[in-house]
Structure 1
Amino acid sequence: MAIVKMKKFTLLAFQSQKKELLQNLQRLQAVQFTEFNVEDEQYKEYLKQDSAYVEISEVEDKQAQVKFAIDFLSKYEEKKGMLNELKQGKDSLTYEELEKRVENISWKNEYVALKQLENNITEKNQHISKLRGDIEELSKWINLDMPMSDVKGFKNTIAYLGTIPKNFLENLREEIGNSFDTSYIETIGEDSRDANILIVFHKENLKDIDIILKRYSFTRVQYEYQSVPSEVIKEFKHKIQEIKNELKETNEEIKQHLMHLQEFKLVFEHCESELARLKSYEKFLASSNIFVVEGYVPCEDSNDFEKMLKDTLSDNYYLEIEDAEGDETPVLLKNGKLTEAFEPITEMYSLPRYTEVDPTVFLMPFYILFFGMMLSDAAYGMILFLGTLIGLKLFNLEDEMRKSFKMFCYLGLSTTFWGIMYGSYFGDAISLPALWMKPDSDVMMLMIVSVALGLVQITVGLAIKAYMYIRDGKILDALWDVGLWYGILGGLILWGLSAFGVIDNPTLTTVCKYLALVCAILIILTNGREEKGIAGKLGQGFYALYGITGYVGDLVSYTRLAALGLATGFISMAFNMMIGMFGNPIAKILAGGLIFVVGHIFNLFINALGAYVHTCRLQYLEYFGKFYEGGGTAFKPLKYSSKYVNITKK
């Protein structure tokens, strides 16, 4: 099975049973609701879009509080290593178990306590920031040997503390010194721009001094500290240390609350699942007494769906259910254990439309083959295979991650196979004969094989296109749009082989030449069949024939199978050559061993990434372009949230 067959339903039931119904549908995890459109005007008067915005708002507020607690406590949780996290995975619970556990969790008091602790930490950090700012400011006056508040305590004189631009200081000192005998200016400190000064003068000169200071951009500062700046700074630093000690105590207190972190996560999952039910109301149309909704259910779950309706609603409902049709139907993929590992490759491009074929089963063998051919080192392949196999056995992986591990496990086997064919084991580090050929010695053969494999994949792609035409009853379209291309490509290839002396059969050569010519003429005549007018038909036909250049480009693209395979081998041999250049045995063991490990790990990673990307490219551009459009929408049933724990049906 590939694309799961769907049934479309219309359900009408009483409002009083909606809540229980949605709970049971969520347990089933097999029903997707769609927007219901009322076409009959007389029903629009009675049926309005349903909503639960008040309940949603309440649950979202509750969830926001729970999320705060999770984020706050998670910062103090002891971090596990990535391997430990993968090994442990998520806990699994049924929804019934989740509900029972959530009922016994008194999380609100715990939330209030955590909020107070957060406010306490925020206040302390703000106090520290203020003290540090004060210290930075006071550091400018650290050379002042008197309490800063004392500058206001003179009887007959006035003292100012303030700053002035450095380039004005000497002019100010000179003008005041020349104008007033009873004045004193002392520079306390300075930075690149300003000077910090103390100026003392007689009270009777106040007005004149103020005028002069203003002209020189003097900015007065006033402090109430009762000690000299150095003592105040020392006191502030001591206070900062005291607050830091208090923060450590607060942090230790918070860690005592970590035992409640998992409880908050369970409450969050419960809220998330409840929100999923409440938000589904938006897909319903309802009156004060009834509601109506449309949706989809997989055919394989339709019996369970109807039984659940009967058990929940008794006979108080109306149901219409029929086979789904059309590209608006959501898509659910279901493949065998081998093929399902490659579903993420298809989904990364685009899901198929409901009326298309699932390309996963058709790309899977080529993907395995091409990836191994590009990485092409038996040792690398065994590392990839054993690493992912161990991960599958030891780690508690989620479905998507498990698919990726399985895919790379298969790709590791393919890489091992091609490495044995090429005789590559960490490049040439292990000298074993190739079972087929050495790529660096048979480059032309490798290129020919790569293009030949590309031709096979393109041929399969065209065959799938023909199947889709025939399935839909478009037999002539299959002949014109696929059969003619088989003829022209096959004729040209055989004609070319005869021109290079590979085939020595004049009759076959003549037949192939005319086959290609006839198919080319027919492509011109038939590919514009949807156009109006002779000119439009011929123009479209010639344009279609021009597409043969695209086939040539596609075949050339497959030479990357050879290129990346050669790159893997050459880089491996380069690292091995570097190791061989060490003459000293000790250096060869120590430095050479390091180069071997680091170099080959790097080569494995970078070329595995390259093989993954370029194999995807061959599927998406050269292969899918022949038969696949995509654009389907994923089937998203009403189900449970599984962010922190896996919620299972049973």
Structure 2
Amino acid sequence: MAIVKMSEFDLFVRNDDLDSLLVALQRYRNVMFREAMPEIEGFYEVESEYDFEDNSDKQNHIQSILKRLAEIKKSEGNKGQIFENLSLKTMNYNELDQIVGDTDLDNILDMYAEHYESNRHMVENYEIYIPWEEESFSNESLQKLEGVKPIIGTVPKEMVEELVENLKELKDIYFMYQRPNEKHDSIFVVLPIPMYHDKVSVLVEKCEMESRSSISLQIEKELSTMRMFLTQALDKRLNINDRLSRLGLYQEILQAHFEALRNEALRESMRSKFLTSRHVTYIKGWVYTASEAEFKNVIAESTAGIFDLSMNPAPSDSLEIPIKLKNNKFVQAFEPITKMYSQPRYNELDPTPIFAPFYAFFFGMMLADVGYGLIMSLVMYLAQRFLNFKEGTKNMIRLLMYVGAFTVFWGLIYGSFFGGMIPLTPVVDINQDFNTVLVMSLGFGIFHLFYGLAVKGYIHIKNNNLRYVLFDVIFWYMAVGGAIGLVSLMFIDLVKPYTTPLLIVMVIGMIGIVLTNGRDAKTAPGKLASGLYGLYGMTDYVGDIVSYSRLMALGLSGASIGMAFNMMVDMVSGMGVIGVIFGVGLFIFGHTFNLLISGLSAYVHSARLTYVEFFGKFFTGGGRAFNEFIAQPTYIELEED
């Protein structure tokens, strides 16, 4: 359970091998490229000619079709659709490549996407403007175009550009025109919707159009093709739902193309981060130290062994090193909590295994109901057992499953099962012994804070700064621990014989803090001032310890809300059959509401105790995540080769 060790690499490959290398590395995935490359004489940034806009358009059209398919399935009463939307399919790279290679995406999109038009819509020697490519162009407007008489004529070459711009500004005009040349005027064929007919007539007259017929210009074939495009578009729009409903088979094909497009765009975007010369491309980045041999083999296989590679351990003090966390399943479930705060630096400890048990313990103490915990654990277990979620969602589901178990534990301690609906004998009754629970909460808080200081001491020992253990840990233990002992004299008589030792310990700790906390200042007065200011930090401990009273407060509020709903259910359940039915509905609504609102509060406040009180004792953060060289899955999770 730690931060994965990284190696930096410098790689030179032939330009001809770059495409195959990127495909191979994407299958390997455990590599991250450096974006800021050093300047090297004779090398320059790779200029990509890839059409990212076309790629994005196709992705958008695929999602539009899949959304329509989902809506159709939902309207047909497909109850499994919600689970299908949440779950990811699984596929390996060879299966994905086979699907993509065996199907024509342009053909599918052209046939089944409402607003997609492939480049097949061309008329030789003519430029064509198709208004229904815009989603704002309605089916009603498209139907009106079908019966419109075309405006046909020739326009002087010097007026062509002006007329084209004017027609485009009207937006809903379907037209084509012949590319102008030196010998002939340009032929225009315009199909305006009726409301724009007069405007178009004025525009063409202004641009000196000479009206002609399709026969006299010998463009009957071109006009027929133009009308055919219109008919096809109208048929496609009016029958889109019927065709989509019969084409569930294409859903997985479209999803495969979508994932392929995203990964293709990622490869091409990374290409622009490299440096290239006439024959060689230079790549820098990071790989797992433990996987150096595997990484080298991947490169060798994709470049026929012609490459130059050097790898060195990443410097521990660099902020550029990307962070990859490696933990067991329990701890991994809490990684989203760490990432919401910050990735650790490369030379820090991963705080996840340190705070995870405390987070689950505090969450359970604040929600504290057997029924709620059983529901959370069971539902989340079944969800992660039968559905394939994205990695981040998987971790969140496991997190809720684990904290549900702690919620059951604390529910048994407090004797709460759906707010007391099912009687249990409590170990501590939070509704009666809330002072006891408050003391427990503060005690857990003190232990939590002192454990954070102990982690700080471990870090100093690990870095061979043994004297800092005394300065930053032991003196604080003495000062804060002595102060807590003296305060407890007001409540616990057993501590009174130790008043003098506690006072001595506290004073020694305070003096030590004053003398050592300003060690970074350059002058003696500066050191003293910094030391005194550091001692003032003891007041922060007061606020930190009191902050743990929320463990009692939220546990009590959740129990009270649950009991209140149970009382309302008891009031109505004696009113006959209708009262029973209403009572069942009220029970389900009330406890669902309490579970959601109290669960959200427990989630947020457990994170707050972790971030503010606990992390402040030892954790700095500021690292950046290691992003695997693969697009995050949307529909299909690609298995590693």
Whether TM-score is above 0.5 comes out as: yes
Q: 1:74 aligns with which of 60, 67, 76?
A: 67
Q: Does 1:65 pair with 2:58?
A: yes
Aligned CA distance change for structure 1 residues 376 and 247 (closer, same or farther; 3 Å): same
AA matched with 1:302: E
Match of 2:210 in 1: none
Q: Matched residue of 1:291: which SS?
A: strand
Question: Kindly tell me: are residues 579 and 115 of structure 1, through their superposed partners in 2, closer, same or farther at Cα, counting changes over 3 Å?
Answer: closer
Residues 320-339 of structure 1: matches in 2 within 5 Å? 320-325=310-315, 326-339=318-331
Aligned pair 1:580/2:570, yes or no?
Answer: yes
Q: Which residue matches 1:645? A: 636
| Maintained 8 Å contact 1:73/1:254 | no
Counterpart residue number, 1:126: 141
Q: CA deviation at 1:585?
A: 4.1
State the TM-score, normalizing by the size of structure 1: 0.76
Letter in 2 for 1:49: E
Which of 516, 537, 553 is equivalent to 2:506?
516
How many Å apart are 1:252 and its aligned residue? 2.3
Find the residue that maps to 2:326 and give its secondary structure. coil
| Distance in 1 between residues matched to 2:445 and 2:286, nearest whole Å | 39
Deviating more after overlay: 295-304 vs 117-126: 117-126
Q: Which stretch of the first structure deviates more once superposed, 425-434 or 305-314?
A: 305-314
1:48 is matched with 44
2:612 maps to a residue whose letter is L
> What secondary structure sits across from 2:420 in the alignment?
coil
Report what 1:455 is aligned to: 446
Q: Map of 1:332-371 to 2, 5 A cutoff?
A: 332-371=324-363
Report the CA distance shift for 1:37/1:113 in structure 2 as closer, same or farther (over 3 A).
Answer: closer
Q: Which moved more, 1:61-70 or 1:315-324?
A: 61-70
How far did residue 87 of structure 1 move? Answer: 5.5
1:192 is matched with: none
Q: Name the counterpart of 1:469.
A: 460
User: Residue 330 of structure 1 contacts residue 634 of structure 1 at CA under 8 Å; is this kept in 2?
Assistant: yes
CA shift, 1:250, in A, is 5.2
SS in 2 for 1:75: helix
Point out where structure 2 has 5 or more consecutive residues left out of the alignment: 117-131, 146-233
* RMSD between aligned residues: 2.6
Matches within 5 A, 1:46-445: 46-51=42-47, 53-54=48-49, 56-57=50-51, 60-72=53-65, 74-77=67-70, 78-80=72-74, 84-86=81-83, 89-114=87-112, 119=132, 122-126=137-141, 249=239, 251-256=241-246, 259-325=249-315, 326-434=318-426, 436-445=427-436
Kept in 1, the 8 Å contact 2:343–2:622? The answer is yes
Q: CA deviation at 1:309?
A: 2.5
Counterpart CA distance in 1 for 2:619 and 2:503 is 30
The percentage of aligned residue pairs carrying the same residue is: 34
- Map residues 529-608 of structure 1 onto 2, 5 A cutoff: 529-582=519-572, 583-608=574-599
1:629-644 to structure 2, matched below 5 A, reads: 629-640=620-631, 642-644=633-635
> Kindly tell me: are residues 66 and 566 of structure 1, through their superposed partners in 2, closer, same or farther at Cα, counting changes over 3 Å?
closer
Question: Residues 29 and 639 of structure 1 are in contact (CA less than 8 Å); yes or no, is this contact kept in structure 2?
Answer: yes
1:469, CA displacement in angstroms? 1.7
Partners of 1:612 and 1:66 in 2: CA distance: 36
Distance change >3 Å, CA 594–CA 109, structure 1 → 2: closer
The CA deviation at 1:31 is: 0.9
Aligned pair count? 529
User: Contact 1:87–1:394 at 8 Å: present in 2 too?
Assistant: no
Q: 1:86 to 1:479 in 2, by over 3 A?
A: farther
Measured after TM superposition, the shift of residue 414 of structure 1 is: 0.7
Deviation at 1:254, TM superposition (A): 4.9
Contact 2:37 2:274 in 1 (8 A): no
Going from structure 1 to structure 2, the CA distance change for 1:108 and 1:129 (only over 3 Å counts) comes to: closer
Shift in CA distance, 76/586, structure 1 to aligned 2, threshold 3 Å: closer
Change (3 A) 1:390 1:105: same
Residue 383 of structure 1 deviates from its aligned partner by 1.3
Stretch moving more, 306-315 or 628-637 = 306-315
- Flag the 1:522–1:379 CA change in 2: closer, same or farther, 3 A: same
Tell me if structure 2 keeps the 8 A contact 1:331–1:633. Answer: yes
Shift of 1:93: 1.7
Q: Secondary structure at the match of 2:520?
A: coil
In 1, distance between residues paired with 2:490 and 2:17?
78
Structure-2 change in CA distance of 1:554 and 1:117 (3 Å): closer
**Once the 2 structures are TM-superposed, how far is the Cα of residue 504 of structure 1 from its aligned partner?**
4.2
Q: What are the superposed Cα offsets for residues 34-81 of structure 1, whole Å, 9 maximum, x if unpaired?
A: 035436xxxx33111223x21x22x54145235324414532542457
| Distance (whole Å) between structure 1 residues aligned to residue 15 and residue 84 of structure 2 | 45
Q: 1:486/1:253 Cα in 2 relative to 1: closer, same or farther (>3 Å)?
A: same
Distance 2:346 2:312 in 1: 15
Q: Which amino acid aligns with 1:523?
A: I
- Any conservation in 2 of the 1:380–1:426 contact (CA below 8 Å)? yes
Q: Aligned-pair distance for 1:333?
A: 0.7
With over 3 angstroms needed to count, the CA separation of the structure-2 counterparts of 1:91 and 1:504, relative to structure 1, is closer
